[in-house]
Chain A
């Protein structure tokens, strides 16, 4: 199995079709680009042309949203083959997917849905991660979810669940700091304690995004993982706390809805790069 985690310890951006031409003509200083694998599963056309050109110039992170690793049913072999073709073609520096499920009977459900944390689901997810890594010939990163509900039958803490998956399968973890904030507010957890207890040795990439806010049926604050705005200040503060513990680490800014003009996206990357440089400088002083 080839090692991954060779993305540079810098800010990366989600690659959006509306920015293809501008990225190629202006060659912005961005650490890496990340794409949703499912958006590049057509046979040909402009998406592949642009991705080929951009992957020649920048490190690439391939991020899946449709594999349903957290589901009880067997993984979709055809989908795994499509992923393998993408990995063979583009040789991304990282492949990641979610601790979530998204299929029901023969249908695909376009969301990242939550699962109960039990010995049974732990065994299923671990088997799925092994199958993914064997089929794709690469170590993968598994991302912590954002959730709005809990399951009565859950018996394992989310962090322990993720750590056990990493231990059993050798996979890495993708730590989404916005998801930590969303789930912590929604379930009354302490987000700083979540970061402090997370098995940081396994983390190969960080995600940041903007959340939306509403209230639940009892009027309690409910955060929604919306990806439609700049990173919120409390999430950025939590990210700085994480950087202080983990050091410089590849960090993606996700902005998938109401996508802004490229310079606005680049400003988010610059903000992240500065935070990474701050922690690197601090580490030098300490040493």
Chain B
């Protein structure tokens, strides 16, 4: 048997649904030992579950450690990392959470996980200068009729639950109150050193969603104008102040 085949069997046994000891492995006493092989299998799953626990700490806090680890292990069983950069592992975890039957009683859980996935993306995103709100006047004429250049760290989460409030209430040591149980649109962005999580005004959410969908400013404003509370200037200044747009004037 070639070494390549041995190693291939080893990998298959490591990742397979049932723990089996591969052929060709032995101990100093010349016998197969399932407990020793189990160390490798355990290492792999613990590393994957730990990577998810590190990326989704509020999701973990909402479900409790035991539930989270069981859910993460179920995810890891058929989602392998595609690269050795484990910070990116779990992009599809929120969708998995949404379809995970034991979590169905916590309908906002998947959106909290989406917010947390966006948070780490923003944390590791390329650095770029954000457009200062006072330059909006210079920026607007050339931008009005084309999709805006969003900051590389910017993400938008729209939820029918108060996802930003739930996240904020559980991100600190002491769990805080949820002010009101309504839909929220959350902007996650890191214009400089720190990732920021902002709940957008309700009247701005359709506008923001259109910008993130690649609509032009003009079209986004039209989409949002069905809501009489929408004010184009106020919404644009508000979102720009949070650092959501790239500064094209910067060196």
Q: Which of B2, B12, B86 contacts A120 (CB 8 A)?
A: B2
For residue B140, give the distance in angstroms from its CB to the closest CB of chain A.
27
Contacts of B84 in A (CB 8 A): 38, 65-67, 79, 102, 108, 110
- The count of chain A contact residues (Cβ–Cβ below 8 Å) is 52
For residue B24, give the distance in angstroms from its CB to the closest CB of chain A.
5
The CA of A118 and the CA of B37, in the complex, are separated in Å by 21
Q: Does A107 contact B (CB under 8 A)?
A: yes
Contacts of B37 in A (CB 8 A): 148-149
Q: Do B87 and A42 touch across chains, with their CB atoms under 8 A apart?
A: yes
Q: Do A71 and B7 touch across chains, with their CB atoms under 8 A apart?
A: yes
Q: Which of A43, A107, A120, A148 contacts B40 (CB 8 A)?
A: A148
Q: Which of B6, B34, B128 contacts A217 (CB 8 A)?
A: B34
Q: Do B85 and A41 touch across chains, with their CB atoms under 8 A apart?
A: yes
**Binary CB contact string for chain A from 68 to 101 against chain B (1 if under 8 A, 0 otherwise):** 0001100000110000000000000000000001
Question: Looking across the interface, which residue of chain B has its beta carbon closest to that of A150?
Answer: B26
Per the 8 Å Cβ criterion, residues 13-59 of A in contact with B are 38-39, 41-49
The CA of A49 and the CA of B125, in the complex, are separated in Å by 12
For residue B76, give the distance in angstroms from its CB to the closest CB of chain A.
10
Question: Looking across the interface, which residue of chain A has its beta carbon closest to that of B36?
Answer: A148
Q: Do A110 and B85 touch across chains, with their CB atoms under 8 A apart?
A: no
Question: Looking across the interface, which residue of chain B has its beta carbon closest to that of A71?
Answer: B7
Q: Do B36 and A115 touch across chains, with their CB atoms under 8 A apart?
A: no
Per the 8 Å Cβ criterion, residues 120-150 of B in contact with A are 122-128
- The count of chain B contact residues (Cβ–Cβ below 8 Å) is 51
Q: Do B33 and A217 touch across chains, with their CB atoms under 8 A apart?
A: yes
Question: Looking across the interface, which residue of chain B has its beta carbon closest to that of A217?
Answer: B35
The CA of A115 and the CA of B29, in the complex, are separated in Å by 19
Q: Does A247 contact B (CB under 8 A)?
A: no
Contacts of A217 in B (CB 8 A): 33-36
Per the 8 Å Cβ criterion, residues 167-217 of B in contact with A are 190, 193-194
Give the contact stretch, choosing among B41-49, B59-67, B98-106, B242-250. B41-49
Q: With A110-B86, A188-B28 known to touch, is A101 a contact of B7 (CB < 8 Å)?
A: yes
Q: Which of A38, A67, A106, A218 contacts B33 (CB 8 A)?
A: A218
Q: Which of B4, B15, B48, B124 contacts A43 (CB 8 A)?
A: B124
Interchain residue pairs with CB less than 8 A apart (13) = A38-B86, A43-B152, A44-B126, A104-B80, A110-B43, A110-B84, A120-B2, A148-B40, A150-B25, A187-B27, A216-B33, A216-B35, A218-B31
Interface residues in chain B, defined as those with a beta carbon under 8 Å from any beta carbon in chain A = 1-4, 6-8, 10-12, 14-15, 24-29, 31, 33-37, 39-40, 43-44, 47-48, 51, 80-87, 122-128, 152-153, 190, 193-194
Q: Give the top 6 A-B pairs by smallest Cβ distance, nearest first.
A: A66-B84, A42-B124, A107-B80, A104-B11, A110-B47, A44-B127
Known A-B contacts: A67-B84, A71-B7, A113-B7. Give 11 more (CB < 8 A). Answer: A39-B87, A42-B125, A47-B124, A66-B83, A78-B83, A104-B14, A108-B84, A110-B86, A151-B6, A216-B36, A217-B33
